[in-house]
Copies of this chain bind each other. A is one copy, B any other.
């Protein structure tokens, strides 16, 4: 069948590209500087192809497949699992080439992980960094199954000269005027963490193409850009990786020239499933008067969530916390609100075990990274 033929041909073509092939210079297409202007066509295009988790999905402890947030920098690649290989090389004693069954026959582990896009909340900033225009839905929790990375690195025998490991995906395109395959690095210590997986299943199913089939990196607690999809190679290098997605993108910066600091761990955050019923177009909420069970989820990459508070019309009170679904998964929370007729402002905020608390106002930065500002929503209660 011609479809299969094309799949194989594409997979093979990709497999012959060296992961560190020199970038071909092209016309720069870096997004414009932050703006207070209207939403652009380019932002709308990105919002359409990159999927947010609608906030009512916070009612599910594990996000159903298809509702987890999804950000794909370039195109979803079509990969032939038979010809697919994972190469572990560079500064290692024993370079390895693994097939998918090789990885599936190693130690198998399942872990519930809350993943969030580093740019979640970007469109709430003023001025607005012009990129994927997330509101608050760039998040989800999934049960990922795979094999731990550390034993693979031990088998390869990473050289003492190695400083970082570069994880390169199959997805290729142009960003910031540079053509490249998506790639990110971790230090050896970060990569050796017991939590880090090479995942080949999600929610008990084979990874769907858009989540990195056949194998993706999974780094629990870090923003999603770290968990490289469609993994093709892991290369040990003796310097800090200077790829576009490491050195230029995913930085906390103040202007275009600021090298800034790298984006890493997920900041503390809580979100509420909007109560009542929505208006189709405005998404404004209408709630019946009486007791309303407010609920949501809260998470933090590095610490554990210690408290969630709910605010009704300016008064903060403690919410009830549920047990987390796992060390790296969000905690459910509930709060009973006695709703009285009229307009009310609801909000929630979380505090974690490291003392982090969500800020009242967004912490602006040039790329719109790590905005964990407090969610506020106005609802109308009718008699």
> What residues of chain A have their CB less than 8 Å away from a CB belonging to chain B?
2-3, 6-7, 24, 26, 29-31, 37-49, 51-52, 54, 56-57, 59-61, 64-68, 70, 72-76, 78, 123, 130-131, 133-135, 137, 172-175, 179, 205, 208-211, 274, 277-284, 286, 293, 295, 322, 332, 334, 382
| A67 lies within 8 A of B210 (CB) | yes
Known contacts A65-B208, A286-B179: A39-B44 contact under CB 8 Å: yes
Known contacts A41-B39, A43-B44, A48-B52: A280-B205 contact under CB 8 Å: no
| A75 lies within 8 A of B281 (CB) | no
CA distance A257 to B129 in the complex (A): 40
CA distance A46 to B286 in the complex (A): 18
Given the complex, which residues of B lie within 8 Å of A332, measured CB to CB? Answer: 2-3
Contact with A175, one of B61, B65, B281 (Cβ below 8 angstroms): B281
| A210 lies within 8 A of B64 (CB) | yes
Given the complex, which residues of B lie within 8 Å of A2, measured CB to CB? Answer: 322, 332, 334
A301 CB to closest chain B CB (Å) equals 23
Contact with A281, one of B29, B48, B274 (Cβ below 8 angstroms): B29
CA distance A51 to B57 in the complex (A): 14
CA distance A30 to B67 in the complex (A): 27
CA distance A6 to B322 in the complex (A): 13
A248 CB to closest chain B CB (Å) equals 12
Given the complex, which residues of B lie within 8 Å of A65, measured CB to CB? Answer: 65-66, 208
Given the complex, which residues of B lie within 8 Å of A74, measured CB to CB? Answer: 277-278, 280
Beyond the given pairs A74-B278, A179-B286, 11 more chain A to chain B contacts, judged by CB atoms under 8 angstroms and listed by A's residue number, are A2-B322, A3-B322, A39-B43, A43-B44, A44-B44, A54-B76, A65-B208, A66-B211, A67-B208, A75-B278, A130-B281
Contact with A133, one of B3, B44, B68 (Cβ below 8 angstroms): B44
User: Which of A40, A130, A279, A334 has the most C-beta atoms of chain B within 10 angstroms of its own C-beta?
Assistant: A279
Known contacts A44-B47, A48-B137: A280-B175 contact under CB 8 Å: yes
List the 4 closest pairs (A to B, CB-CB), nearest first: A38-B38, A66-B66, A175-B280, A39-B39
| B45 lies within 8 A of A48 (CB) | no
A96 CB to closest chain B CB (Å) equals 29
| B64 lies within 8 A of A281 (CB) | no
Nearest B residue to A68 via CB reads B66
Given the complex, which residues of B lie within 8 Å of A57, measured CB to CB? Answer: 76, 209
| A26 lies within 8 A of B286 (CB) | yes
A18 CB to closest chain B CB (Å) equals 16
21 A-B residue pairs with Cβ-Cβ distance under 8 Å, sorted by A, are A3-B322, A3-B332, A29-B280, A29-B282, A38-B40, A43-B44, A44-B47, A45-B283, A51-B66, A54-B72, A56-B75, A60-B78, A65-B208, A66-B66, A66-B208, A66-B210, A66-B211, A67-B210, A173-B278, A175-B279, A175-B280
